[in-house]
């Protein structure tokens, strides 16, 4: 589509948007008494208006049934995690037995690495991207140390070529081949949190398997954002949080994927827990761990029902809309933002966009690297009612999401951005007049 730099064009896109009604299903935070431009769904998604009702339903069951709520009531807690099977499978492109809602993101990474990172003196290396999210870095470091290896030698961090911001797929594949005989695991982000790059998970997985290594991914910034087909791509394992694009509340329950080919492999090492034990025999309280089939066999404890109720409210919206429709609008929103930033740069040369220009290599997010006064500009945006995200040293991450953001908001954002920049320039030129 050929975009136009006008409010009228943005409004036309909104009128044609088949998902525009879903904005009314969310609470939009206010700044200075007006609805904010909320472009921070890549950090914390907004609250669905149905969330309170879903949580209160479980509070009511607890209040009225007590412990009997595990087996009685509208949604018995004993099987509560099964309510998410269909929805999560659709979001990540999996079979229902391959997914489970449990724990939190980093704990799930650790528990899955127990099964899929068993290094020896021959195979002990892990390939990941440089600048991975700190939790992932710490998880990999501690796992390597736990097994008695040196992180400096065991963890191979890949970075973009000089002068580039995108990590080329061919460079990843080259690294896999280079370390083929020593490689135990490729573990990367699905979407890189800082740059917003969407990696080619299928190709990376195939390369890892070809040299005898496992492939796993942190999908924190990918789930609910970009199209995934974990089963068909034969990804070994993955983990994610649900409080970003999945809109399930701060610190809410995480999720995990384990491919079907590992579903009936009780010999895989794992840190077992009661809730991963065969549910048909669970209350016999016997020794000797017998895992549930599929991803359920990696569970440890019973469900955190109250946060999972919030997750249920959000996931039902995703099932109603479908990932294809979300992706279609997301591509348009992000492309329109990219176009307007390019138009702005023609007048100001204000930003360098770190996120890949190829729509297939990105999700909702654009990472804007400010050439000057980045933090001051970000603060001006915040005062003007824009809720975005700052990352040191000079990056403003902006993520218009398809469920609740509009094309006119994208236009407003860039307009505010230019006005904020102009104000900063005037302040720099005549600081004494601005102070008056």
Q: Residue 84 falls within a domain, yes or no?
A: yes
Q: Could you tell me the sign of the dihedral formed by the alpha carbons of 359, 360, 363, 365, in that order?
A: negative
Is residue 243 a contact partner of residue 250, using CB atoms and an 8 Å limit? Answer: yes
The backbone torsions φ and ψ at residue 399, rounded to the nearest 5 degrees and listed phi first, read -135, 85
**Same domain for 26 and 174?**
no
Q: What pLDDT does 430 receive?
A: 60
**Same domain for 92 and 18?**
no
Is residue 244 a contact partner of residue 221, using CB atoms and an 8 Å limit? Answer: yes
Per DSSP, the three-state class of 255 is strand
**Same domain for 237 and 97?**
yes
**Same domain for 210 and 301?**
yes
**Same domain for 327 and 313?**
no
Q: Is this prediction's pTM over 0.85?
A: yes
Q: Residue 1 falls within a domain, yes or no?
A: no
**Same domain for 142 and 81?**
yes
CATH number at residue 425: 3.90.1150.10
What are the tens digits of pLDDT across the range 33-88?
A: 999 999 999 999 999 999 999 999 999 999 999 999 999 999 999 999 999 999 99
Count of structural domains within the chain: 2
Q: What pLDDT does 424 receive?
A: 83
Q: Residue 47 falls within a domain, yes or no?
A: no
CATH number at residue 173: 3.40.640.10
Q: What pLDDT does 1 receive?
A: 87
Q: Residue 2 falls within a domain, yes or no?
A: no
Domain of residue 330 covers 7-42+322-435
The rounded distance, in Å, linking the Cα atoms of 271 and 236 is: 17
Q: What pLDDT does 434 receive?
A: 45
Question: Shortest CA distance to 196 belongs to which of 241, 217, 165?
Answer: 165
Instruction: Give percent of the chain with pLDDT exceeding 70.
Output: 98
**Same domain for 258 and 367?**
no
**Same domain for 188 and 240?**
yes
**Same domain for 301 and 365?**
no
| Last-in-domain residue among 321, 349, 366 | 321
Task: Look up tokens 């001006």; give the residue.
Answer: 380
| Last-in-domain residue among 291, 321, 351 | 321
**Same domain for 29 and 64?**
no
**Same domain for 284 and 411?**
no
| Last-in-domain residue among 300, 321, 342 | 321
At CA 233, angle to CA 261 and CA 132, rounded to 5?
Answer: 105
**Same domain for 145 and 257?**
yes
Q: Residue 249 falls within a domain, yes or no?
A: yes
Count CB atoms within 10 A of the CB of residue 146: 13
Exposure string for 63-78, b = 16+ CB within 10 A, e = fewer:
eeeeeebbeebebebb
**Which portions of the chain are predicted below pLDDT 70?**
428-436
């Amino acid at each position: 589509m050929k975009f136009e730099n006008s409010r009228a064009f943005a409004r036309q896109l909104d009128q044609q948007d088949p998902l525009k009604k879903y904005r009314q299903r969310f609470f939009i935070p206010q700044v200075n008494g007006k609805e904010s431009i909320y472009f921070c769904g890549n950090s914390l998604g907004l609250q669905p208006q149905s969330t309170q009702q879903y949580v209160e339903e479980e509070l009511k069951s607890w209040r009225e049934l007590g412990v009997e709520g595990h087996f009685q009531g509208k949604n018995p807690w004993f099987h509560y995690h099964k309510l998410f099977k269909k929805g999560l499978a659709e979001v990540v492109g999996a079979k229902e037995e391959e997914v489970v809602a449990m724990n939190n993101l980093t704990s799930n990474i650790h528990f899955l690495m127990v099964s899929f990172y068993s290094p020896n003196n021959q195979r002990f290396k892990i390939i990941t991207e440089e600048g991975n999210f700190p939790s992932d870095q710490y998880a990999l470091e501690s796992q390597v140390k736990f097994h008695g290896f040196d992180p400096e030698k065991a963890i191979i961090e890949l970075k973009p070529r000089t002068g580039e911001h995108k990590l080329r797929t061919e460079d990843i594949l080259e690294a896999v081949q280079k370390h083929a005989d020593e490689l135990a695991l490729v573990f990367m982000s699905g979407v890189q949190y800082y740059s917003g790059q969407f990696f080619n998970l299928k190709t990376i997985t195939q390369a890892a398997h070809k040299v005898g290594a496992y492939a796993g991914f942190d999908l924190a910034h990918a789930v609910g954002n970009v199209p995934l087909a974990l089963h068909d791509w034969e990804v070994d394992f993955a983990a994610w949080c649900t409080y970003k694009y999945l809109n399930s509340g701060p610190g809410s329950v995480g999720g995990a994927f384990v491919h079907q080919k590992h579903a009936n492999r009780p010999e895989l090492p794992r840190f077992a827990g009661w809730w991963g034990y065969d549910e048909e025999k669970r209350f016999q309280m016997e020794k000797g761990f017998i895992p549930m089939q599929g991803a359920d066999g990696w569970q440890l404890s019973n469900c955190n029902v109250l946060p999972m109720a919030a997750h249920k409210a959000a996931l039902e919206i995703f099932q109603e809309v479908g990932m294809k429709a979300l992706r279609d609008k997301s591509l348009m929103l992000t492309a329109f933002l990219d176009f307007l930033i390019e138009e702005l740069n023609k007048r100001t040369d204000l930003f360098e966009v770190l996120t890949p220009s190829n729509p297939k290599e990105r999700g909702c997010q654009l990472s804007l690297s400010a050439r000057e006064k980045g933090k001051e500009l970000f603060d001006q945006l915040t005062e003007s009612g824009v809720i975005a995200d700052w990352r040191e040293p000079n990056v403003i991450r902006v993520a218009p999401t398809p469920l609740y953001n509009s094309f006119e908001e994208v236009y407003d954002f860039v307009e505010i951005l230019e006005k904020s920049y102009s104000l900063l320039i005037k302040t720099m030129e005549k600081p004494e007049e601005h102070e008056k």
